[in-house]
A = this chain, B = another copy of it.
């Protein structure tokens, strides 16, 4: 059986929990306390030398890291990854956008606000990060003005990757009120049968 090393409040981990729920695929769930440094301990580093959750352990013991690579591994061959080369590349384009232009500016402020002390020096990063977060949301808003989902008119793993932290962006200080197309898309994603919320412990 698959084993997912994860942390409940992580949007990156939630991506995998959400896809596994949509696929109705059973798995073992192991919570790793990232706040106490458990991902920096030798036992965890043996699974993922980059010291991050989520990490997926396959039946043969092989460990796979990086949330969007895990989404691809689980999604290829299902309805959540398009079969055509251009559609596949566009799914990856939005997943790389998510990791490079979105996650550091939408997810990291949420982490700083929720998990670091009120006098953490990292709070000084918030204004610049939030400014770039608004830029990422503006790119998404323009793209979704004429489409129901990010790629090929259908719900794909690109939507899962971007939903994970966008739907809780307000917890990091990014109000979603100005982004009506993003909000409609969030509602479409949440309406998918078998959808599970971020806070649901597997």
Contacts and interface: CB of A to CB of B under 8 A. Distances in A.
B73 A89 contact: yes
B103 A89 contact: no
Given A73-B85, A76-B88, A85-B73, A68 B96 contact: yes
Interface residues of A, number: 33
Given A49-B142, A99-B99, A93 B76 contact: no
A183 interface: no
Contacts of A101: 50
Interface in A36-85: 49-50, 58, 62, 64-70, 72-73, 76-77, 85
Contacts of A86: 58, 62, 64, 73
Contacts of A64: 86, 89-90, 93
A50, A58, A101, A103: most-surrounded residue (chain B CB, <10 A): A50
Interface string A126-147: 0000000000000100110000
Q: How many copies of this chain are found per oligomer?
A: 2
Contacts of A29: none
A89 B89 CA distance: 14
B97 A96 contact: no
A76 B143 CA distance: 26
Nearest to A92: B69
Contacts of A58: 86
A64 B97 CA distance: 12
Given A72-B89, A73-B89, A86-B73, A97 B139 contact: no
7 contacts: A50-B97, A50-B101, A62-B86, A64-B89, A65-B97, A69-B92, A95-B96
Given A65-B97, A66-B97, A70-B89, 9 more contacts: A50-B101, A50-B139, A58-B86, A62-B86, A64-B86, A72-B88, A73-B86, A76-B85, A100-B103
